[in-house]
Amino acid sequence: MELELENENINTNLNFKNPQEYTNKLNELNGMVDLLLDEFKENYIIAKMNPDYEDIQEIYEITVSKINKMQATLFSMSNDIQTNINDINEKMLEFNNLIRYEKEKGKSMRKKLGIVEDKNNSSLEMISDYREIYNIKYLRNWGLFLSTIVCIITINSVYKKPIV
């Protein structure tokens, strides 16, 4: 999909990795973790009981290196995922800017065509006014909350028991 913005081509190709690839790799690593931990427990105990045997220590070091390799793989996968998330966020910001630009362009074209902009009857205008609606309702809710607190305090002070 290619969009044109004032004689400027904007590439909208979405070449992101499929999340299923990461899920499959995580499932594969998850299956290996149990075996690796069992092997590590066994080799750790044997290595600590027999610190003088080099063969046992070497087997223990190999097991530790497998664990480190798995951690490195997970770290690498985490970095890849974070990179993909950052790329997706950049594309979404780019799309958001394009949408904003096209909305403004549409508004100016409607004005040029003489289309009446009526906020009560036009669903297109209501979509663009969602922020204004949200702000009005937000302020109304806070006003109701604060007025309720003031009323409670006033009623409390009016009907307070006299001190004898």
Digit-coded pLDDT (tens) for 112-151: 777 555 445 556 666 667 777 888 898 999 999 999 999 9
Residues 77 and 102 in one domain: yes
DSSP-assigned states of every residue in 28-88: HHHHHHHHHHHHHHHHHHHHHH-TT-HHHHHHHHHHHHHHHHHHHHHHHHHHHHHHHHHHH
Are 102 and 158 part of one and the same domain? no
pLDDT digits (tens, 9 = 90+) for 2-43: 444 454 556 656 677 788 888 889 888 888 888 999 999 999
> Of 22, 26, 1, 21, which is closest to residue 12 (Cα–Cα)?
1
- For residue 1, the model assigns a pLDDT of 39
The confidence score (pLDDT) of residue 65 equals 94
Residues 41 and 14 reside in one and the same domain: yes
Structural domain that includes position 137: 129-164
Q: Is the pLDDT confidence value at 161 over 60?
A: yes
Token couple for 70: 């798995």
Within this chain, do residues 99 and 134 fall inside the same structural domain, yes or no? no
Residues 104 and 153 both lie in one domain: no
Quote the pTM value.
0.53
Same domain for 19 and 100, yes or no, is yes
